[in-house]
């Protein structure tokens, strides 16, 4: 049990949680670039969650919960990649697999035995990769952590796209009419609507429409997350319109 009870709150020993996490995933093949990538993604999302929680003025208990939510959110990715070798959720939803491994198999008890905290983690994992949050399934506190995790996960996905050579390593082409219209209408793109390589780019960029907190938009600007993606792409004449739309939305959110 890694809970430290102080004044009725659950303060999680995150350093110990991270060591347990590393033990849990250590048997996967870290020579696999995707598995290695998911580990460092999990660590960065954990750190992003901490920074956002602090920015929101949350107390020490909630900051520690935010960190654990970020650390465990992609727990199912390692199993998914080891079995299928893909990040596609069509055949195996990594959020559902992560929830099963942690909660049905009881592994979550190694991280925390507090049922309230366990429920927060479960709801955050199940809602982090959906198009929309199932708000009817969450109480107010659970909803906060769902939104917090979704923002931090998306921020690191943008970071990965701009900084990992394995991302967007395909010839760029125009987006399909429907996907471009959805982008212009500030809608997230459904994976089933992807038809072209331009659509693959926009499905990533339009994640920005789902961000919930001012911190997230400030971080995008500060860390140049969108600019870095644009600068790595060839055929800028094709994609400039898409980035103008997204950057206009970011500027609008900061005014």
pLDDT in tens, 78-88: 999 999 999 98
- C-beta separation of 154 from 211 below 8 A: yes
Compute the distance between CA of residue 172 and CA of residue 174 in angstroms, rounded to an integer: 7
Q: In whole angstroms, how far apart are CA 241 and each of 174, 218, 230, 237?
A: 10, 22, 11, 8
- C-beta separation of 209 from 182 below 8 A: no
| Three-state SS at 71 | helix
Q: What is the tens place of the pLDDT at every residue in 173-224? A: 999 999 999 999 999 999 899 999 999 999 999 999 999 999 999 999 999 9
- C-beta separation of 109 from 62 below 8 A: no
For tokens 């997204």, the residue is: 246
Residue 29: CB atoms within 10 Å: 11
Torsion sign across C-alpha atoms 106, 29, 18, 149: negative
Supply the DSSP symbol for 132: S
Give the pair of three-digit tokens for residue 46. Answer: 């954990």
* Per-residue tens of pLDDT for the chain, all 255 residues: 455 433 347 789 999 999 999 999 999 999 999 999 999 999 999 999 999 999 999 999 999 999 999 999 999 999 999 999 999 898 999 999 999 999 999 999 999 999 999 999 999 999 999 999 999 999 999 999 999 999 999 999 999 999 987 788 788 899 999 999 999 999 999 989 999 999 999 999 999 999 999 999 999 999 999 999 999 998 899 999 999 999 999 999 987
Q: The whole model's pTM is what?
A: 0.93
Return the pLDDT at 70: 98
Domains and CATH numbers, the chain: 1-156 (1.10.3210.10), 168-255 (no CATH)
Torsion sign across C-alpha atoms 52, 252, 224, 233: positive
Compute the distance between CA of residue 11 and CA of residue 218 in angstroms, rounded to an integer: 28
Supply the DSSP symbol for 29: -
Q: In whole angstroms, how far apart are CA 182 and each of 118, 168, 179, 188, 250?
A: 36, 20, 5, 7, 16
Give the pair of three-digit tokens for residue 182. Answer: 């959805």
Q: In whole angstroms, how far apart are CA 119 and each of 7, 123, 137?
A: 21, 6, 11
Compute the distance between CA of residue 230 and CA of residue 236 in angstroms, rounded to an integer: 8
- C-beta separation of 50 from 71 below 8 A: no
Return the pLDDT at 140: 97
| Three-state SS at 115 | helix
| Three-state SS at 194 | coil
């Amino acid at each position: 049990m890694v809970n430290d009870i102080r004044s009725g709150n659950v303060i999680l020993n995150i350093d110990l949680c991270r060591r347990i996490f590393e033990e849990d995933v250590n048997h996967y093949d870290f020579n696999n670039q995707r598995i290695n990538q998911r580990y460092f993604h999990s660590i960065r999302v954990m750190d992003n969650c901490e920074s956002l929680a602090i920015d929101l003025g949350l107390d020490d208990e909630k900051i520690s919960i935010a960190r654990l939510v970020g650390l465990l959110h992609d727990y199912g990715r390692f199993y998914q990649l080891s079995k299928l070798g893909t990040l596609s959720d069509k055949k195996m939803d990594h959020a559902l697999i992560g929830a099963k491994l942690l909660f049905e198999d009881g592994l979550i008890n190694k991280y925390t035995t507090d049922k309230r905290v366990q429920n927060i983690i479960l709801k955050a994992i199940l809602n982090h990769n959906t198009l929309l949050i199932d708000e009817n399934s969450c109480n107010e506190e659970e909803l906060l952590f769902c939104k917090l995790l979704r923002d931090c996960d998306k921020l690191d996905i943008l970071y990965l796209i701009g900084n990992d050579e394995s991302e967007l390593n395909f010839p760029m082409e125009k987006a399909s009419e429907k996907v471009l219209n959805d982008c212009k209408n500030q809608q997230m793109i459904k994976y089933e609507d992807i038809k072209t390589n331009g659509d693959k780019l926009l499905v990533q960029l339009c994640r920005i429409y789902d961000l919930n907190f001012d911190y997230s938009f400030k971080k995008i600007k500060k860390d140049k997350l969108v600019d870095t993606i644009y600068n790595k792409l060839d055929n800028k004449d094709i994609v400039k319109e898409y980035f103008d739309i997204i950057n206009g939305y970011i500027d609008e959110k900061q005014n």
